[in-house]
Amino acid sequence: MKRIATTLLVAGLMAAPMLALPPIASAAVSIGISVNLAPPPLPVYEQPIAPGPGYIWTPGYWAWDPDFGYYWVPGTWVMPPAIGLLWTPGWWGWSDGYYRWHAGYWGPRVGFYGGINYGYGYFGNGYVGGQWRGRDFYYNRAVNNINVTNIRNVYVNKTVINNVHVTRVSYNGGRGGLTARPTSAQRSYANQRRFGPTSMQSRQRETAMRDPAQRFKANQGRPAVFATQHAGNFSGPHAVRAPGAPRPHATARPENRSRHMVEAPHNRAATPQHAPMNAAPNRPERSHVVTSPRNERAPVTAPRPENRAYPNARPRPEVPREQRPQPNMMRPQPNMARPQPPPRNEHGAARHEPQGQGKHGERRPPPKSSDGH
């Protein structure tokens, strides 16, 4: 009984440190997806500039989905899960009549990744794009796109790219595949403590899987997005895109805008301040109410008949001819002249003598007095 208790105590003490460790990737080479179709060649692309210190480059690769087939996961800059860790890329390898995917992982050393030349420090054997020096990561500017204004931990080592064999083959073994084999040191790295992809790396893969432009069936080996500066952001300003590729999050043009109108996004808000209200670019915006071009001008021309009458102004030419003033009507007529004041006598009193009538009712002037007044 005492021997059984001692055995249980020793087993418990050995298991305690393992329970305290964070989750790690499997020590054995993880083999997941198996496909009977060879992956496409690796595309040639430029590396986006590093966003800041501490980021490590993870190259792009062809992933597989049973519904979509092969799709390109863009390369991107990510933060490692812990200081001192490096990324070993995943790779496709031929085995037992199938192409099998060996997932990438984080570890203190870069292990075997099929001899695939992913570029930018991952030339098939190890990683020469940078190294840890204490708690800081130093970048090799000879193989990385680094802005020394933001990142000061840099060095230059061009000897690492002298014996690089450029190839676009993306798998090891099988017909047309690479023939590289892991070294004894790389075999020992397979048993080291390592971590799986981070959440940002998983986000990068899921975003690529949902984008039809990343699938090989649609792009024939030229995906819309080759690489990104930040994981999951395919429309960022530093994303490396194929020429003419549509942005995945571009805003669609409104359906009620004219198909012949082209304007910059920053000018759309200022258009109503400079264009007249009845200008052609703004007419399609009312198309849900009035669809006929004749009716679109109706609100502008309808009030005009009500404004044709001018009661206090001179007659317009459209007034009928019989209502036009005749030249002789402009002269004052004798019978319409102002009445003359009655003559006054020498005492200033008004004289009330009857005035004679002339022909046609004309009024005659009063006779003058005999004294000349």
Between 43 and 161, residue with greater pLDDT: 43
Mean pLDDT: which of 87-91, 290-294, 336-340 is highest? 87-91
Question: Is residue 62 over pLDDT 70?
Answer: yes
> Is 312 among the domain residues?
no
Instruction: Give the pLDDT band of residue 245 (cuts 50, 70, 90).
Output: confident
| Domain, as residue range, for 181 | 21-241
Question: Is residue 18 over pLDDT 50?
Answer: no
- Give the pLDDT score at 184: 94
Lowest mean pLDDT among 82-96, 108-122, 215-229, 269-283: 269-283
> Is 259 among the domain residues?
no
Question: Is residue 356 over pLDDT 50?
Answer: no
Average of pLDDT values for 305-333?
A: 49
Instruction: Give the pLDDT band of residue 326 (cuts 50, 70, 90).
Output: low
DSSP string computed for 69-116: EEEEE-EEEE--SSTT-EEE--EEEEETTEEEEE--EEESS----TT-
> Is 210 among the domain residues?
yes
- Give the pLDDT score at 343: 56
Question: Is residue 138 over pLDDT 80?
Answer: yes
Token pair 């052609």 is at which residue? 280
- Give the pLDDT score at 316: 53
Average of pLDDT values for 77-100?
A: 97
Average of pLDDT values for 186-210?
A: 94
> Is 298 among the domain residues?
no
Question: Is residue 236 over pLDDT 50?
Answer: yes
**pLDDT of 363-372, one tens digit each?**
555 555 445 4
Is there a contact between 73 and 253 (Cβ–Cβ < 8 Å)?
Answer: no
- 348-360 b/e (C-beta count within 10 Å ≥ 16 → b): eeeeeeeeeeeee
- Give the pLDDT score at 166: 78
- Give the pLDDT score at 77: 98
- Outline where DSSP puts E strands in the chain: 31-35, 56-58, 61-65, 69-73, 75-78, 86-88, 91-95, 98-102, 105-107, 130-133, 136-140, 154-155, 171-172, 225-230, 240-241
> Model pTM?
0.60
Instruction: Give the pLDDT band of residue 68 (cuts 50, 70, 90).
Output: very high
> Is 333 among the domain residues?
no
- Give the pLDDT score at 244: 77
Token pair 């399609």 is at which residue? 284
Question: Is residue 373 over pLDDT 70?
Answer: no
> Is 78 among the domain residues?
yes
Average of pLDDT values for 233-237?
A: 93
> Is 161 among the domain residues?
yes
- Give the pLDDT score at 340: 58
Q: How many structural domains does the chain have?
A: 1
> Is 10 among the domain residues?
no
Q: What is the mean pLDDT of the chain?
A: 73
